[in-house]
Structure 1
């Protein structure tokens, strides 16, 4: 499968097929579905240190994102969904936040937690 799902908190599960009932999805459809189905999702490359920092910051405020490690074939679809931004990229409530800089900017301006609350990612 072209993508690997990772559990929040840095622990990985084995490779998980990201298709429904064995039906193959196009990368664009798969990325769109993951964005719609998860209040907070990070798309990154395997072993990305910036995505690790993003997951730690989100966990510190009580959110546990779906962390999706992409293979090269799916990177372009995630970048397109984020408006051309590179990886890692974060989506909160379906809205593209950007990478680590976008996340830090929201946090430092005091807008991260309200955004997470609105998306239903924290209580």
Structure 2
């Protein structure tokens, strides 16, 4: 849990992911298209990955991955991120992190 809190507090946008997860990839592509560069933390490459998964579930993430944090706050998994995007609420959250074109 400490590792999750530390990573989320140190990074503006953080996606906990697994390298084999297609939903994680979809969220990463969405963020890329919205011109933000989140830190993507592949928990399947971390020896403490199982503990991180459990911590994310305890924090309220509907599935262990993807778990998206913006400005230190849990936004949620794929459904929550896509719902925010479709409602027009995601871009204002990402604005401070968007690259200038």
Interval containing the TM-score (normalised by the shorter chain): 0.7 to 0.9
Cα distance in 1 between the residues matched to 2:34 and 2:72: 19
Q: Residue in 1 aligned with 2:25? A: 52
Gap regions ≥5 residues in structure 1: 1-27
For 2:14, which of 26, 41, 45 is the aligned residue?
A: 41
For 1:108, which of 76, 86, 91 is the aligned residue?
A: 86
TM-score between both structures, scaled by the size of structure 2:
0.82
For 2:77, which of 80, 99, 107 is the aligned residue?
A: 99
Cα distance in 1 between the residues matched to 2:10 and 2:17: 17
The Cα offsets for residues 80-106 of structure 1, whole Å up to 9 and x where unpaired, read as 23x243221111111211111111111
Is the Cα contact below 8 Å between 1:43 and 1:88 reproduced in 2? yes
Cα distance in 2 between the residues matched to 1:84 and 1:92: 14
Q: Residue in 1 aligned with 2:62? A: 85
Structure 1 position 72 matched with structure 2 position 72: no
Rg larger in 1 or in 2? Answer: 1
Cα distance in 2 between the residues matched to 1:84 and 1:105: 15
Closer, same or farther in 2 for the Cα pair 1:90/1:84, shift >3 Å? Answer: closer
Q: How many residue pairs are counted as aligned between the two chains? A: 93
* Structure that is richer in helix per residue: 2
